[in-house]
């Protein structure tokens, strides 16, 4: 490693002089510019603002808002009444003067849902403020570029609690949200049976009003999720204070599913919640999605021919995949049939492991892959340690399994 920095010794008077000149140009070794005093004043204002929300003190909450912003602040306060919050905070990361007595603050805002989040779920916000009578007041707020919206920013929130679930919806009939809570509750023991009980065993579900609303929660163009009934968002790895995963439902695609399809979707997404701590950058998508499908189909009585129609057509046409799908094959914006085959392929790879080595070996394989220090060699190492096989033997066996199940 080459180290670069102020004070590094280099031979030659000319080179040394050049380095000193460059250091002066970039400010290396000089005193940092003092922070704008307004940063601390804004932080104090937002600390009081957060405390008012958690105390459900609407008067104190509105005291931070400029009259021009008061109606929007009141709307947000009242929408948040339906969200069971255990934490709410702001961290000001910078301020920019935008005119006489006006500034823009860059803020990391965090919230924690009671009973679900172990830590704050943060998002970037841009807050506009104006100074009046020596005090700062909020005049506007919006998501930072590329930051997701939150469910309460999309409309009035309806909350439905299940025994093991919390469903927060906007623009949805309470009966629909109650059905989703019931299916999420049913998913928990099904996931326990497939994976084990070493997870939170609770599911937080968000149901926006539309596909566009789903896109807003994910900070993407919602159209790329057209036809996708639900997705799960969360942090990979094992951070002890990580916020809970959110299962985000696409109301358009979910709404056209039958009873079986809806239950399958909620169980599949709940598997992602359960396995999150063991799903890392080392885990290929075919394994995370394939395992979720395997666990969701487990015990339903559906045969591979019934559950993998696209892959069955390919196998019967003599087009047996030569290798497991790449991560890119699971992109939502491509060929729908190809996407279906990718999911079906991952599922049958996991089904083969469960059939030939046993369900315990499948979960051990999953955990072993996720525990590897990097993507390279993760699957190969786990095949050896958990299944006592090689990639070549596994691929040959999996291709034969496809022919036997789908041919």
**Local structure of 140: helix, strand or coil:** strand
Confidence of residue 388 (pLDDT cuts 50, 70, 90): very high
DSSP run (H or E) holding 230: strand 230-233
Predicted local distance difference test score (pLDDT) of residue 334 = 67
Q: 158 phi and psi, to 5 degrees?
A: -110, 130
DSSP run (H or E) holding 158: strand 157-161
Q: What domains can you pick out in the chain, each with its CATH number?
A: 37-147 (3.10.450.50), 150-275 (3.40.30.160), 280-407 (no CATH)
Residue 290 has pLDDT above 50, yes or no: yes
Residues 83-142: pLDDT tens digits?
999 999 999 999 999 999 999 999 999 999 999 999 999 999 999 999 999 999 999 999
Share of the chain above pLDDT 90, in %: 86
Residues 307-324: pLDDT tens digits?
999 999 999 999 999 999
From the list 177, 248, 244, the residue with the least C-alpha distance to 219 is 248
Per DSSP, the residues of 253-315 read: HHHT--HHHHHHHHHHHHHHHHHGGG--TTS-HHHHHHHHHHHHHTTS---HHHH-HHHHHHH
> Can you count the helices (H) and strands (E) in the chain?
15, 9
Residue 163 has pLDDT above 80, yes or no: yes
Residues 222-260: pLDDT tens digits?
998 998 999 999 987 667 788 999 999 999 999 999 999
Share of the chain above pLDDT 70, in %: 91
Query: What span, in angstroms and rounded, lies between the C-alpha atoms of 169 and 206?
Result: 6
């Amino acid at each position: 490693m080459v180290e670069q920095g102020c004070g590094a010794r280099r031979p030659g008077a000319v080179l040394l002089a050049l380095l000193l000149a460059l250091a002066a140009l970039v400010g290396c070794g000089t005193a940092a510019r003092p922070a704008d005093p307004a940063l601390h004043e804004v932080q104090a204002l937002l600390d009081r603002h957060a405390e008012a929300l958690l105390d459900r003190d609407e008067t104190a909450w509105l005291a931070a808002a400029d009259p021009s912003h008061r109606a929007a602040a009141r709307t947000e306060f009242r929408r948040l009444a339906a969200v069971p919050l255990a934490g709410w905070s702001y961290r000001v990361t910078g301020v920019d003067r935008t005119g006489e007595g006006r500034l823009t603050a860059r803020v990391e805002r965090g919230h924690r849902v009671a009973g679900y989040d172990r830590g704050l779920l943060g998002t970037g916000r841009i807050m506009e403020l104006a100074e009046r009578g020596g005090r700062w007041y909020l005049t506007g707020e919006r998501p930072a570029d590329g930051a997701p919206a939150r469910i309460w920013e999309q409309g009035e929130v309806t909350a439905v609690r299940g025994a093991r679930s919390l469903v927060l919806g906007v623009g949805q009939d309470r009966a629909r949200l109650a059905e989703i809570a019931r299916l999420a509750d049913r998913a928990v023991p099904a996931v326990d049976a497939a994976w084990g009980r070493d997870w939170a065993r609770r599911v937080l579900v968000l149901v926006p009003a539309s596909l566009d609303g789903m896109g807003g929660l994910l900070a993407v163009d919602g159209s790329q999720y057209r036809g996708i009934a639900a997705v799960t968002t969360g942090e990979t790895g094992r951070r002890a204070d990580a916020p809970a995963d959110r299962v985000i439902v696409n109301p358009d695609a979910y709404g056209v599913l039958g009873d079986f399809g809806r239950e399958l979707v909620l169980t599949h997404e709940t598997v992602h919640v359960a396995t999150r701590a063991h799903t890392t950058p080392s885990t290929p998508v075919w394994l995370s999605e394939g395992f979720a499908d395997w666990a969701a189909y487990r015990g339903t009585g559906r045969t591979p021919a019934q559950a993998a129609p696209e892959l069955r057509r390919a196998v019967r046409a003599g087009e047996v995949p030569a290798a497991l799908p790449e991560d890119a094959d699971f992109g939502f914006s491509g060929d729908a049939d190809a996407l279906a085959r990718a999911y079906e392929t991952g599922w049958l790879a996991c089904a083969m492991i469960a059939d030939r080595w046993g369900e315990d070996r499948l979960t051990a394989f999953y955990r072993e892959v996720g525990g590897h220090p990097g993507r390279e060699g993760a699957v190969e190492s786990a095949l050896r340690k958990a299944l006592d096989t090689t990639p070549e033997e596994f691929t040959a066996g999996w291709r034969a399994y496809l022919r036997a199940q789908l041919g």
